[in-house]
Amino acid sequence: MIQKPPGIEDIFPDRTPKFNHIINTAKEVFRLYNYREVILPVMEYTEVFARGIGDGTDIVTKEMFTFEDRGGRSLTLRPEGTASMVRAYVENGEYNRLALCKFFYYGPMFRAERPQKGRLRQFNQFGAELFGSDNPWYDFEVISLMNEISMRLGITEYNLLINSIGCPDCRKPYVGELFKYYSTHEHELCEDCKKRIHTNPLRLLDCKVEGCISLKHNAPKITQFLCQSCKQHFSQTSTLLEKHSINYIHDPLLVRGLDYYTKTTFEFVTTQLGGQNAFAAGGRYNNLVELFGGKPTPAVGFAAGIERIALLLEQLSVTEKLDVYIAYSGNNALPVVMQIAEELRNNNISCDFDPAAKGFKTQFKRADRENARFSLIFGDDELANNCTTIKDMLSGDQVSVKRESIISFLLEKLTS
């Protein structure tokens, strides 16, 4: 028997309604805020992620699925959406030079990580990106998007962590102080962090090894190094959150695991996911468009893990319902059933039946299994009287309806 690779899931109909509920909830919120959908490729040239995410990040150095095509070009399955979105934005003429662009996307991402609860090698995300403004309102807006999606889904047990990691000018002296601090503790660092201290000291704050986490608590805080512009930007973002009653915790050591962030960073975290405590995160990346060859363009966005959100909604029952299941008896009824099914579908009423039906009892069991709202019953009496018996599968009530009135009767019941 051929099996799927580790860290990759098959998602069957017992789970897809919940996934679709999450995606559709996000899409509705994006619509309310005027974010438009972009469908991104799942494969990019490796340079997109090496340049965008950062050569020194764990994603690029350890976690990407990278291979050569037949022409010897290095390709990578996308590990995240922002770098792809920026590449698309720049390659397509910065979306025809619109002053402000709001986009959203969703789909599979790929990272070669150790599979565990809430962390897969193929996983799904939705995200939103805004290009064209450095106004703190939009930092607040993208946070509001995820906050609204969480509330609509019924997720309430979480904390919003926010921070500013400044701009390149004020971050440079901060990185120098981090290097000094960690240099005195280099013997206590994990092997990866012993390398990071010389390549990208900021990444030390994102290490998940217990010993490095302990050292982080006494590390210098970037709040002491922010320039006046970055301080003001963070203050205005925080004020907007407070004014609109979005609770947050300022975490001065929050840096995120990607190199492209500037100024605002944030995470939505919960204690209900074990070690993988973040289910959404994002921030501002004002220099990334220029890095990809575009004109200087401030930008901000976020992404959320659909599988992790689904874990938070374990108690939520979301099922796909069939409008009508048609049960019948006798070969003479089958042509009538086929015609009725076609008429129902032409009127946007979902239905199903078994062309090899073996008895009403078996057919009613299948109607239950398919979560049918109504059953249409065609037996000898119904055929003789040119009608059907419609059974309400919730209440068990039955009513006889003439053939010509079936569609109008069901449409009224299904829309009431």
The pLDDT value recorded for residue 96 is 61
Contact 254, 267 (CB under 8 A): yes
Q: Decide yes or no: CATH 3.30.1330.60 for domain 16-167+227-312.
A: no
Measured between alpha carbons, how far apart are the two ends of the chain, in Å?
48
The pLDDT value recorded for residue 217 is 83
CATH architecture of the domain formed by 322-415: 3-Layer(aba) Sandwich (3.40)
DSSP string for residues in 263-288? EEEEEEE-STTTT--EEEEEEE-TTH
The pLDDT value recorded for residue 275 is 62
Q: Which residue has the tokens 């009403």?
A: 360
Beta strands 43-45 and 122-131 are unpaired
Q: Which residue has the tokens 């690779």?
A: 5
Domain borders along the chain are 16-167+227-312, 322-415
The pLDDT value recorded for residue 214 is 83
CA-wise closest residue to 245 among 133, 140, 127, 137: 140
This prediction has a pTM of 0.88
Tokens of 244: 């609109």
The pLDDT value recorded for residue 261 is 86
Which residues share a beta bridge with 124? Answer: 108
Separation of alpha carbons 200 and 302, rounded Å: 23
Residue 133 amino acid letter: S
Contact 84, 78 (CB under 8 A): yes
User: What value does the CA radius of gyration of the chain take, rounded to a whole number of Å?
Assistant: 27
User: Which residues of the chain fall below pLDDT 50?
Assistant: none
The pLDDT value recorded for residue 198 is 83
